[in-house]
Amino acid sequence: MTFEQIISDIQNRKFYPIYLLMGEEPYFIDQISDLLQNTVLDEGQKAFNLSILYGKDVEGAQIDNASRRFPMGADYNVIIVKEAQMIQKIDNLQYFAANPLKSTILVLCYKYELLDKRKKLYKSIDQNGVVLATKKIYEDQVPRWIESYLKRAGYHIEPGAAMILTEYLGNDLSRISGEIEKLLITLPQGQLKITPEHIEENSGISKEFNSFELVKALSRKNILKANRIINYLGENQKNNHISITISALFYYFAKLLAYHFMDDKSPRNVSSSLGINSYFVPDYQQGSLHYPRKKVIQIISLLREFDLKSKGFGNISADEGELLKELIFKILH
């Protein structure tokens, strides 16, 4: 089942006796376990029917015993096991998973790892309950995730603002959702859209001097603006690590190379094929005019070279600011 299907079922009070929530992305695991914790039982029922356990403190047989207990004054006995990947003798849960009680909801939060699909336990859970295997989303997917997250909450975000958040927060969905919630709290009453200006005013992230704006300046070969931005980034290295800038540049020029080889360069096809918001299509149209295929390939090679230099390979004394200035000069000339 998908994350969205599981959430929908819980909201409609369609529950399963056992949930195996596993994988690399803890955000999805936490969202489902928290929703179950807050939805299945009312506050008065939780004292006797809700158990929060930790994998490092329990063995499979103990969880099995707890799962066979009948609820008191409620329809369900809810057991949430955090850090389930640390459960000793987890295979002992196979007996419950094979014949679960309909009055029990057992939630296994198996973070950062995957339960072996060949195990009888996995097969029994898959047959009688719900299995969700999560993966980290790639950074180029984060802006769309941010847009979807806000849309579900009844809000919107400007594409540029979503890119700025992605640049500074990466693909840590828990951190991103936390920052978004803070921004929503600070929105003026009646305003339903997050803008770059709002981010700058409430987070300290500059809407003008960042990697997103640098890419935009480079796509139009605006040398003056590009130099102003790298001077700012070089002087504020603590909050603008060169690896973030190189990552943003690589993302753009790799897609620009793909753009060059596209037969259908209509905005709709470009947006769909490159997986970008239509708002950014002009950046690739402009970039293709200033950077032919051969130059783009050279730039991608430069980005790899300077990424290594920023990590100390082949670089004796240049700091990040100096490396960034040299890199941008070579891109533009």
DSSP-derived secondary structure for 90-139: GGGGHHHHHS--TTEEEEEEEETS---TTSHHHHHHHHHSEEEEE-PPPG
Q: Quick one: pLDDT at residue 296?
A: 97
The CATH code for residues 139-203 is: 1.10.8.60
Task: Write out the residue limits of the CATH 1.10.8.60 domain(s) in the chain.
Answer: 139-203
At a CB cut-off of 8 Å and minimum separation 6, what does 239 contact? 204
Crossing angle between the packed helical segments 242-260 and 159-169, to the nearest 10 degrees: 130
pTM: 0.75
E strand or H helix at 216, and its extent? helix 211-219
Other beta carbons within 10 Å of 314? 9
Closest CA to 20 of 77, 85, 78: 85
Q: Compute CA distances 219 → 36, 223, 252, 255, 322, whole Å.
A: 47, 10, 9, 12, 22
Question: How far apart (Å, rounded) are the C-alpha atoms in residues 89 and 87?
Answer: 6
CATH number belonging to domain 211-332: 1.20.272.10
CATH of domain 3-134: 3.40.50.300
The series of mean pLDDT values per 10 residues for the chain, 333 residues long, is 94 97 96 97 95 95 95 96 96 95 97 94 96 91 92 92 87 92 92 92 82 92 93 79 88 96 94 90 95 97 92 76 92 93
Strands (E), the chain: 18-23, 50-54, 77-82, 104-111, 130-134, 156-157, 193-194
> Could you tell me where in the chain the CATH 1.20.272.10 domains are found?
211-332
**Residue indicated by tokens 């533009």:** 332
Residue 317 confidence (pLDDT): 66
- Residues 6 or more apart whose CB falls under 8 angstroms from that of 125 comprise 18, 20, 97, 108, 131
pLDDT for the residue 145: 93
pLDDT at 14: 96
Residues linked to residue 80 through DSSP beta bridges, in sequence order? 52, 107
| DSSP summary character for residue 71 | P
